[in-house]
A and B are shown apart, each in its own frame.
Chain A
């Protein structure tokens, strides 16, 4: 099969995948080719397969330029980067990587909920900063934003809080003047003597157990998230295109209604024309200042500028985001916020799962070229 040309349209996502493909096929890495048009012209005849992922797949234009394309094997479960209609028209087979990544993505969704609600990343940043500060020196509480920006933001927050709650200065701050080693840490303040005490702004700290979770999309991943959240006594509700008869969770016929009736809203559906910007201003407002959005779907599920302004203005309580509109670019306005967790699209990002995904991609290609049944066909 070494003569079969496989075009990898995405930046190589995984060394093991590349290695396994190179063993069996002639692999072309499209992403690093400077003159793509010239390359396609010269090599189009030999290219019989495309491997893509969440960042790049096979759009109509590419499919048109590959007359001998027989199969698109995606290193993802999402198919939004593949023009399925065009593939159907041309009789091109399409495969993805369902099931093997379900657990990882669901685990991460819960991990994001816990991290946002219990402020895990912020706490970690805090411990690192307090313990590495010297007496009397102004310290940024994280590497998150340039110090001058952070000081402005937090200084403002301190002023507001001090004015409102003289006796209870409970604010997250980057100002630390001294560390008092005498105080027991069970105070939760790490014994800061002078200057402001670090605790947690009342509006920002929440527990997770018992919070209502609303899931958009109750496929494999949505169900896996529900199962985990139930163990934390979270009441589950959901929205899908049509109500599922075999499911015990509460159904809402619209996303807005779901958002209005839950505290944590999770996007777990496929990205299609219908679900693009499914999280819009109306939904965000319905979720509200105590609500948290978790996105482990695709960036375009969310109207990102709307989300950013809602978070910055406090109209939305918090967000845990693994995906963004224009990866790897993340809106910098989010960097200084304590109520968001920002991950670099790692939903399936474990060694175990990536290997299983790669094996599926390669297995599907091999099956196709050996005229055997595909392992995980979509088309």
Chain B
């Protein structure tokens, strides 16, 4: 064929030449965390653009006839430029909880289906949201640091925190994750209300059409929605001001949902009381101002990284790919009629 691929690619291709290909643009975190073998199947073969010396467009053009699916893990965009080089692709399957790296309208235009991570992450992400909220209010990480520095003996008691039970929790985005957060916080005696694109018919929590109004009526704002054009910088100066001096914010969605500069300013001026953040606008960079703050809890974007979630994810990814390739309905097809 005269195509310059690596030796290992050649060997694998010789063995699996007839198998449909699933292309990856970057290594999914799950591959290194639980092993690529968890995602193996005798129905398809992974083609990794990042293992090749070829420029991306050349690699894709070379293999385009056999690439039937994309396995997307966040970060690398799945947009018109990419899709145009892959006319045989019929499905994009994600390992990520979010879909913001995918040009969804472009996929629709091309009749490309999208399979998301369904519910595999919901519990673990919800757990992290609750963990971050308790940590911020009760100063868990800050006082753990205090103890490890020997300051309890040297300086005495740590300043008091704030009670979680009885707080009003405002959930932004009541999808799978938001719903799991709500369920958990109710058990702590929190009063849950929410904002979503549309009111949910079977949910009894008070609904606020406007996120600003939600912020004004809660003590803790928990961001559980996806990132889209509508939600970018949705948490802005106005919303943070409505949340107020005693209010805290937790973000397990995407960094860009919050106007980060504004949030930093609010925290520095004491205009909000604290924050628990798993995501940031410009990862891996985190605003330097946070490091002097004890009322901020920081997590390196790992809400989904538990062995249990990742194992469920691997089964779901393989299931979705195999279903697509055998013309069966996807297990977790994303339908954006929400």
Contacts and interface: CB of A to CB of B under 8 A. Distances in A.
B128 interface: yes
Interface string B270-296: 000000000110011110101100000
A104 B131 CA distance: 14
Nearest to A169: B32
Interface string A167-194: 0101000000001110111111111000
A123 B300 contact: yes
B145 A350 contact: no
Given A132-B291, A199-B32, A342-B144, A350 B161 contact: yes
A104 B167 CA distance: 12
B232 interface: no
A120 B131 contact: yes
B147 A342 contact: yes
B283 A184 contact: yes
Contacts of A186: 29, 73-75, 96, 283, 301
B284 A207 contact: no
Given A143-B149, A184-B26, A354 B160 contact: yes
B260 interface: no
Nearest to A334: B148
Given A104-B165, A107-B165, A231 B301 contact: no
A349 interface: yes
A181 B285 contact: yes
Nearest to B190: A107
B134 A107 contact: yes
B276 to A, nearest CB: 9
A199 B144 CA distance: 21
In this complex, the member of A103, A132, A227, A349 whose beta carbon has the largest number of chain B beta carbons within 10 angstroms is A349
In this complex, the member of A186, A335, A343, A353 whose beta carbon has the largest number of chain B beta carbons within 10 angstroms is A186
Interface string B143-159: 11111111011001110
A126 B300 contact: yes
Interface string A90-134: 000000000000011001101110110010110111111011100
Contacts of B148: 142-145, 335, 342
Nearest to B307: A205
B161 A124 contact: no
A330 B165 contact: no
In this complex, the member of A120, A190, A352 whose beta carbon has the largest number of chain B beta carbons within 10 angstroms is A120
B125 to A, nearest CB: 10
Interface residues of B, number: 72
B161 to A, nearest CB: 5
Contacts, number: 232
Given A125-B145, A349-B160, A350-B162, A114 B124 contact: no
A341 interface: yes
B164 interface: yes
B183 interface: yes
Nearest to A327: B152
B299 interface: yes
Given A115-B140, A184-B75, A349-B138, A344 B184 contact: no
A344 B291 contact: no
A30 to B, nearest CB: 17
A123 to B, nearest CB: 5
B140 A187 contact: no
A330 B147 contact: yes
A232 interface: yes
B297 A124 contact: yes
A188 B158 contact: no
A209 B125 CA distance: 10
Contacts of A332: 150
In this complex, the member of B35, B146, B284 whose beta carbon has the largest number of chain A beta carbons within 10 angstroms is B284
A118 B145 contact: no
Contacts of A107: 134, 138, 163-165, 188
B130 A108 contact: no
A160 interface: no
Contacts of B186: 231
A328 B143 CA distance: 13
Contacts of B149: 143-144
Given A118-B127, A207-B307, 20 more contacts: A103-B163, A103-B164, A103-B189, A108-B138, A111-B134, A120-B299, A124-B299, A168-B35, A179-B284, A185-B283, A199-B32, A200-B305, A207-B124, A207-B306, A207-B309, A228-B188, A332-B150, A342-B147, A349-B160, A349-B161
The 3 closest A-B pairs by CB, nearest first: A185-B283, A184-B75, A114-B131
8 contacts: A108-B140, A111-B134, A130-B284, A132-B288, A143-B149, A179-B284, A187-B75, A209-B308
